[in-house]
A and B are shown apart, each in its own frame.
Chain A
Amino acid sequence: MNARATKPTTPIISMRGIVKRFGAIQALKGVDLDLYHGEILGLVGDNSAGKSTLMKILTGAYRADAGEIFFEGRPVTIHSPLDSRRLGIEMIYQDFALCGNLDVSSNIFLGRWPTIRGLVNRKQMEQEAARVLERMNLFLPSLRLPVETLSGGRQQAVAIARALAFNPKVLIMDEPTANLSPNASRRLLELVSDLRDQGVSIIIISHRMQEIFEVGDRIAVLRQGEIVGTLSIAEATEDEVLSLIIAGRRSTPESGHARA
């Protein structure tokens, strides 16, 4: 809310003309997407609309067949998750993408374990993991348990801590509240708002429209691999967004809204 007023004109991320094919299926047909500094952008659409595919291109999990990505105005090539992490882009996957046999702190620092002389510095790792969890108000009974022994909510806490451990500039969340109770969802949305206020730019993929309307600044609608509309949440209604998702048009005759 307060972040919106200070929004700079250059987006932190600008995706241009992104095309992705899987065999004969064209999953993305030239998608343009902008994410501004310190905003929460909701990304919505049907199941096969291409939301996760688009985000996986941004994180380097997939490679686009065509199109460009600009980060803070500069053209960048993102060919692997390592490239996106170096830019400060983190994603929390819907299935959390954790190593179930590894303990909590090993997962939080997956691939970025602190070392001394080639050996993993377990003490430092556990201290920093505890610090990250505390800063995010995430509580776990022990850092030494394999994450597969934790509940789904706690596994998500580990995934969030991993994404936030290295102070990302951009955070992408894929259906973050899909497996959470209403109370836990509320706390998660509070955390997301706090992060936005700290200057993190956030993209949330969600089926739950009311949640995006609650915390989001803008909403982008994907339909059959194309962006069919980008709306400011302050000016849009849920009905408008739904009609974009379903029909690809902003037709709301019964409410009498004029086209923007």
Chain B
Amino acid sequence: MMESKAVPSKRSAIRSDVLQQALAFASLIVMFVVFSLASPNFATFTNIVGILLSTAVIGILAVGVTFVIITGGIDLSVGTVMTLASVITGVIISYWGLPIPAGVLGGLAAGALCGFVNGTVTAKMKVPPFIATLGMMMMSQGLSLVISGTRPIYFLGTPSFRQIAMGSLAGIPNAVWIFFASAVIGSLVLTKTVLGRYTFALGSNEEATRLSGINVDRWKIAVYTLCGLYSGLAGVVMASRLNSAQPALGAGYELEAIAAVVIGGTSLSGGEGSVLGTVIGAFLMSVLINGLRILSIPQEWQKVVIGAIVIVAVYADIARRRRR
């Protein structure tokens, strides 16, 4: 300790998560170029707007999950919590006839509440997040079906509800703007606020964080609640886009969201990651799916390719960790 000379560190100051993020971005560009050359239908305005729109919901979910994964946790419930939020929004607006803002707030609150429960079960009852959120995934799926009576809820009496996601600004649907805004806010929270510092500290060394006199449980609950809030937002956007709350939809979205996070360089072991990486990861998957479809490759193959990419991304994470 206490070397008297400032010897520059030999190890690179470039963080490995930033490296993977750059790699994902480069892959995104390469894919874009390849698909553009392969098909004239790819790089058209309509198709690009379609890609943006299809990224929006998964992207919003993924921004929320980024926080949880940086703490070293996982949230498997975001897809079905999203569905529950859209069902709650549907009930409030279409069944109860309350104003649209009440429905939106109700959906957001439902998502945040589910996240709060996830956080409390994980932090206070010490149930591993994998199990706690798996339970929540099933509970929220069941609740969506119970509350809706297994039928879709349509927003027939409120045509302006659809404008939340499908209205547009500068030719781009609102859903995309909402995704961008939520990503920018998420990035600011993660990098500039105390909550963001706690998110990294928890994932980096939870015991050290506790020994520093930090109420670890409280901040963990806050992170899961924030993730739930993002799921709630995704639920509102989803309901607005489909102009209905579909209680059977949503399962499987959590895996795509987690895949986007991992592809973007956020480490499953916690302590490293960024919202920007997640946004890149989400786009990478959308572009790939869209490109494969345009090249008329059967839909079944899309899943195979995405699965392989997730394995490669996680392997890259493990490999760079082992090098240390």
A residues in contact (CB < 8 Å) with B: 59-61, 80-86, 91, 93, 96-102, 106, 110-113, 115, 118-120, 137-142, 144-146, 148-150, 152-154, 156-157, 160, 162, 180, 184, 187-188, 191
Contacts and interface: CB of A to CB of B under 8 A. Distances in A.
Contacts of B198: 111
Contacts of B272: 101
Contacts of A154: 1, 3
18 contacts: A60-B213, A80-B215, A81-B214, A82-B213, A82-B215, A83-B213, A97-B208, A98-B205, A99-B208, A101-B204, A110-B201, A111-B201, A141-B9, A145-B13, A146-B15, A148-B324, A149-B9, A152-B1
Contacts of B213: 60, 80-86, 111
Interface of B: 1-9, 11, 13, 15, 192-194, 196-198, 200-201, 203-205, 207-215, 271-272, 324
A106 B197 contact: yes
A138 to B, nearest CB: 5
B1 A156 contact: yes
Nearest to B202: A99
Given A101-B203, A118-B194, A157 B2 contact: yes
A118 B213 CA distance: 19
Given A102-B204, A120-B192, A145-B13, A59 B211 contact: yes
Contact of A99 (B13, B192, B201, B324): B201
Contacts of A139: 2-6
Nearest to B272: A101
B1 A99 contact: no
Contacts of A113: 194, 197
Contacts of B214: 81-82, 110-111
A112 to B, nearest CB: 8
Contacts of A85: 212-213
Contacts of A145: 9, 13
Contact of A150 (B2, B9, B209): B9
A60 B213 CA distance: 9
Given A111-B201, A141-B7, A145-B9, A188 B2 contact: yes
A113 B209 CA distance: 13
A2 B7 CA distance: 37
A137 B2 contact: yes
Contact of A100 (B1, B5, B196, B205): B205
B7 A99 contact: no
A112 B197 CA distance: 10
A98 B194 contact: no
Given A119-B192, A120-B192, A157-B1, A98 B208 contact: yes
B2 A119 contact: no
Contacts of B13: 142, 144-145, 149
Contacts of B324: 148
Contacts of A99: 200-201, 204-205, 208-209, 271
Contacts of A112: 212
Nearest to A152: B1
Contacts of B212: 81, 85, 97, 110-112, 162
Given A139-B6, A144-B13, 6 more contacts: A82-B215, A102-B197, A115-B194, A139-B4, A149-B9, A152-B1
A101 B200 CA distance: 8
B171 to A, nearest CB: 34
A21 B2 CA distance: 38
With most chain A CB atoms within 10 A of its CB, the pick from B7, B13, B196, B197 is B197
B223 to A, nearest CB: 15
A141 B271 CA distance: 22
Contact of B205 (A61, A97, A115, A180): A97
Contacts of B7: 141
A65 to B, nearest CB: 20
Nearest to B213: A82
Contact of A81 (B5, B194, B211): B211
A175 to B, nearest CB: 13
Contacts of B196: 120
With most chain B CB atoms within 10 A of its CB, the pick from A110, A138, A141, A150 is A110
With most chain A CB atoms within 10 A of its CB, the pick from B8, B15, B211, B215 is B211
A113 to B, nearest CB: 6
A153 B271 contact: no
Contact of A119 (B15, B193, B203, B205): B193
Contacts of A93: 211
A81 B2 contact: no
A45 B219 CA distance: 38
Contacts of B210: 61, 81
A144 B14 CA distance: 11
A110 B200 contact: no
A59 B210 CA distance: 11
Nearest to B188: A119
A141 B6 contact: yes
B2 A138 contact: yes
B205 A184 contact: no
Contacts of A101: 200, 203-204, 271-272
B1 A120 contact: no
A151 to B, nearest CB: 8
B138 to A, nearest CB: 33
